[in-house]
A and B are shown apart, each in its own frame.
Chain A
Amino acid sequence: MWTNFVNCLNMDGYGIFIVPSWLSAFIILSVLFIHTQRQLTKLRRRMARDQ
């Protein structure tokens, strides 16, 4: 079980391909989520201020 995970992170082996592919996915999805929430908060604030 742990061997599978350690092999995935092995940067001398296939880890050099596995880690960036998962990491890029998490970064892209996190940025999209945070950006959406920030836009919502910004707009709500602006609407409250203008009203």
Chain B
Amino acid sequence: MTMPHTPARKKTASPAASLWHWFTPTYFRAVSGRVTPIALVLLLVTLPTGLAYAFFLSPPDYLQGETVRIMYIHVPSAWLALALYGAIAVASGITLTLKLPMAGHFATAASPVGACFTAIALISGSLWGKPTWGTYWVWDARLTSMLVLFFFYLAHSAMTQAFKQQERGQQAASILAIVGALNLPIIKWSVEWWHTLHQPESISFINPSSHIDISMLIPLGLMTVALFSYATIVITARMKLAILQQKWQSLLYQKTRNRS
């Protein structure tokens, strides 16, 4: 039996409407269903390999000795902290201008994850500072600007929870995230603009020259991929949570309306 011929549907969707389609919960569910297993496999491969390189295979530094092993958790965490805040700022811009709910959900989901990576960068950096600089903390430009980033993350997370309506919280937090994005170039170039105790960057993504030996670059790269995969898994799960919370809120609203 053959199916009756159905005429091809005309493509009438405007570019804005098709953009909207990319940011719908249905599309997100389909994408996250594919992305999460890939990220999980990447994490399961790169984390043990990265740890093996970090603790067993990579040599101690000629100057810092064994303490260089703190770098393999400190540097990827700091990179992720900055990258996630940048992504949150972009998502916040989209939330405010295009009013796409998924962008707001992403910012809400990524904020606690970014705060955790900033905390790890601060704690590990402080513990690395004692044997290297002789002190756990100094109020130099890099350390202080990272601490400010941590406070911005906390304020963003608090702001998203501060309103009964999730959307209003996300909008208020978006303004804060965009203001806080001014701190990102300060963190990035603080070691060049001011004389800081923190060393200048050893790896530049713009200038491909690296001052790190390949034996140390491998564990650094592996740990970066591992932490990035972890962040993808957790952010995806938290986005699902934000979508469910919104759905639940609207269900409760409908129920109370029906009763009254």
Contact = CB atoms under 8 A, between A and B. Distances in A.
A29 B227 CA distance: 10
Chain B residues touching A, majority SS: helix
B123 A14 contact: no
Interface residues of B, number: 39
B238 interface: yes
Given A17-B70, A22-B70, 17 more contacts: A5-B56, A7-B60, A13-B66, A14-B67, A15-B66, A17-B127, A20-B127, A24-B120, A24-B123, A28-B119, A29-B120, A33-B230, A33-B233, A40-B241, A43-B245, A44-B244, A50-B251
Contacts of B57: 1, 4
B73 A25 contact: yes
Interface of B: 55-60, 65-67, 69-70, 73-74, 77, 112-113, 116, 119-120, 123-124, 127-128, 130-131, 230, 233-234, 237-238, 240-241, 244-245, 247-248, 251-252, 255
Interface of A: 1-2, 4-5, 7-8, 13-15, 17-18, 20-22, 24-25, 28-29, 32-33, 36-37, 39-40, 43-44, 46-47, 50-51
A37 to B, nearest CB: 7
